């Protein structure tokens, strides 16, 4: 395994971007515990290089797995032999990535204002940074940029602060903590523009902003994000090297001090759910921890991921229900009803552990345990047809519908002070 990883690293270093020619994403529908166990065994075969976009958990949830070309025959044979049902979701991963890249290049532009910014396209880190600077310059009475820390590779951790007065309680929204979930950063950009457009026009948002500050971290994992553009579109984790391993990065959604180290996270640096050497070991996580603690009045915290179309609340590390479960459940229902009203996009909702799977060391479990009652996490579009490679023409519809759910959460927060 190590040899293969070193080779891959060498290949990327010499030839530039990692390619995925002939790779497929399979959707597997296991029946019964025995098949789930078989899939778990499969996922432990490190030499296959499988990347589980959706992990095997229970029968009700499909399993999506990105299979490198060199492992396809073996994996198909294994599934066939064990009579495990599957179908091909993505025929050729590289074909989709080529389409994505072509679109990005075709609509690449250098806008002079946020009105000219192309919200229907994906953007790189420079372009997002210049978007933020333009937005601040155009709306300096409403928006400022604060830097809450530095990433491992010394990039600033930028947060947009929307504020109309001093000493207000805060609402936090982050996107892109998993760098490959591109529709989330793209939606974050759209939210930022939406806030400045609607303030003073939409009475509900205006009322929210007259009482609360909104903090929006669009590129929560900038090193990972830069890496998805330059080297490996499928990169999820941070980019900090791990001592004693040739594998890089920590899963920033397993690194929080909430059930840290428990089931639903990995101690192996080469996995996608590696929790890191200790809680808050990642500067990108630590910066948010320090910010939340020093602010002291964050009342809602929303962390945005993709994909699966879910709205989730704590807990992920334990099956003990959150003490505000009833209220959180009811508000989630309201929020997804609002979301669905626009394009009829269907979401499921519930606690993380009951709705998706056990995941320990997650963001919103930590924020909830800090006393932030309205702690939610989204899994945006889609349900797996394109997964992390969602076509750019779905960015704006995704952002628009998600905004309705965010408004529901923010309005409820405003109407129910605590």
> Binding residues for Zn ion, per CB under 5 A?
178, 305
Q: Which does 359 bind (CB under 5 to 8 A by kind): ligand 0X9, Zn ion, none?
A: ligand 0X9
Give the Å distances, CA to CA, from 139 to 113, 120, 147, 197, 268: 11, 22, 18, 10, 45
The stretch near ligand 0X9 (CB under 6 A) out of 64-72, 78-86, 354-362, 401-409 is 354-362
Query: 316 touches which of ligand 0X9, Zn ion, none (CB within 5 to 8 A by kind)?
Result: ligand 0X9
Which of 90, 302, 338, 356 binds ligand 0X9 (CB under 6 A)? It is 356
CB of 352 to ligand 0X9, least distance (A): 5
DSSP H or E stretch at residue 29 = strand 24-29
Burial of residue 9 (number of CB atoms within 10 Å: 0-12, 13-18, 19+): middle
Count residues contacting ligand 0X9 (CB under 6 A)? 12
Candidates 276, 283, 316, 384: give the one binding ligand 0X9 (CB under 6 A): 316
Question: Which residue numbers are catalytic?
Answer: 379
Name every residue whose Cβ is closer than 8 Å to that of residue 285 and which is 6 or more positions away in sequence: 252, 255, 256
- Residue 143 or residue 353: which is nearer to ligand 0X9 going by CB? 353
What's the rounded Cα separation, in Å, for the pair 287 and 362?
Answer: 15
Q: Three-class SS of residue 305?
A: strand
Residue 356 near which of ligand 0X9, Zn ion, none (CB within 5-8 Å, type-dependent): ligand 0X9
By beta-carbon proximity to ligand 0X9, the closer residue of 139 and 377 is 377
Closer of 136 and 361 to ligand 0X9 (Cβ): 361
Based on the shown chain and the rule CB under 6 A, indicate whether residue 359 belongs to the binding site for ligand 0X9. Answer: yes
What single string gives the DSSP state of each residue in 34-47? HHHHHHHHHHT-GG
Q: Is residue 63 at the binding interface for ligand 0X9, with CB under 6 A as the rule?
A: no
CA 403 to chain CA mean position, Å: 16
* Residue 67: strand, helix, or coil: strand
CB-CB contact of 262 with 250 (8 Å): no
Selection from ligand 0X9, Zn ion, none that 411 binds (CB < 5 to 8 A by kind) is none
- Residue 389 interacts with ligand 0X9 (CB under 6 A)? no
Establish if 380 lies at the interface with ligand 0X9 (CB under 6 A): no
Write the DSSP string, 199-211: TTTSHHHHHHHTT
Q: How far apart are CA 58 and CA 275, in angstroms?
A: 22
Residue 213 near ligand 0X9 by CB under 6 A? no
Find out whether 66 and 75 touch, Cβ atoms under 8 Å.
Answer: no
Q: Sign of the CA dihedral 99, 250, 280, 358?
A: positive
Among 97, 160, 352, 408, binds ligand 0X9 (CB under 6 A): 352
Q: Which of 127, 265, 309, 377 binds ligand 0X9 (CB under 6 A)?
A: 377
Asked if 27 touches ligand 0X9 (CB under 6 A), the answer is: no
Q: Which of residues 231-290 bind ligand 0X9 (CB under 6 A)?
A: 253
**27, 178, 229, 373: which one binds ligand 0X9 (CB under 6 A):** 178
Residue 13 makes CB contacts below 8 A (sequence gap 6+) with none
Positions in the binding site for ligand 0X9 (CB under 6 A): 178, 181, 253, 305, 312, 316, 352, 356, 359, 362, 377, 379
């Amino acid at each position: 395994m190590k040899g293969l990883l070193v080779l891959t690293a060498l290949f990327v270093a010499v030839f530039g971007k990692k390619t995925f020619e002939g790779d497929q994403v399979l959707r597997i529908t296991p029946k019964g515990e025995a098949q789930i166990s078989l899939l778990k065994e499969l996922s432990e075969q490190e030499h296959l290089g499988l990347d589980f976009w959706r992990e095997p958990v229970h029968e009700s949830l499909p399993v999506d797995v990105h299979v490198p070309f060199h492992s396809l025959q073996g994996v198909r044979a294994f599934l066939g032999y064990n009579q495990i049902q599957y179908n091909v979701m993505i025929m050729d991963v590289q074909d989709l990535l080529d389409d994505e890249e072509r679109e990005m290049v075709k609509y690449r532009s250098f806008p002079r204002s946020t009105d000219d910014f192309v919200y229907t396209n994906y953007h790189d880190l420079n372009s997002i940074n210049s978007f933020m600077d333009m937005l601040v310059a155009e709306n300096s009475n409403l928006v400022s940029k604060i830097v809450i820390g530095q990433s491992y590779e010394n990039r600033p951790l930028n947060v947009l602060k929307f504020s109309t007065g001093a000493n207000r309680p805060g609402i936090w929204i982050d996107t892109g903590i998993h760098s490959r979930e591109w529709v989330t950063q793209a939606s974050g950009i759209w939210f930022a523009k939406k806030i400045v457009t609607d303030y003073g026009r939409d009475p509900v948002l205006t009322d929210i902003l007259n009482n609360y500050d909104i903090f929006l971290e669009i590129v929560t994992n900038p090193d990972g994000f830069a890496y998805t553009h330059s080297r490996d579109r499928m990169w999820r984790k941070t980019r900090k090297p791990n001592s004693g391993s040739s594998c890089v990065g920590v899963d920033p959604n397993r690194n929080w001090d909430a059930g840290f180290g428990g089931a639903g996270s990995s101690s192996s640096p080469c996995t996608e759910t590696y929790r890191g050497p200790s809680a808050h070991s990642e500067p990108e996580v630590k910066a948010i921890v320090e910010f939340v603690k020093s602010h002291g009045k964050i009342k809602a915290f929303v962390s945005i991921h993709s994909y699966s179309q879910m709205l989730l609340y704590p807990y992920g590390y334990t099956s003990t229900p959150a003490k505000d479960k009833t209220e959180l459940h009811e508000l989630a229902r309201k929020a997804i009803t609002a979301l669905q009203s626009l394009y009829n996009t269907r979401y499921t909702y519930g606690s993380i552990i009951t709705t998706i799977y056990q995941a320990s060391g997650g963001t919103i479990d930590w924020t909830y345990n800090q006393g932030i009652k309205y702690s939610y996490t989204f899994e945006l579009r889609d349900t797996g047809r394109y997964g992390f490679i969602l076509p750019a023409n779905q960015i704006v519809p995704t952002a628009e519908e998600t905004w309705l759910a965010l408004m529901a959460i923010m309005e409820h927060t405003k109407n129910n002070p605590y």
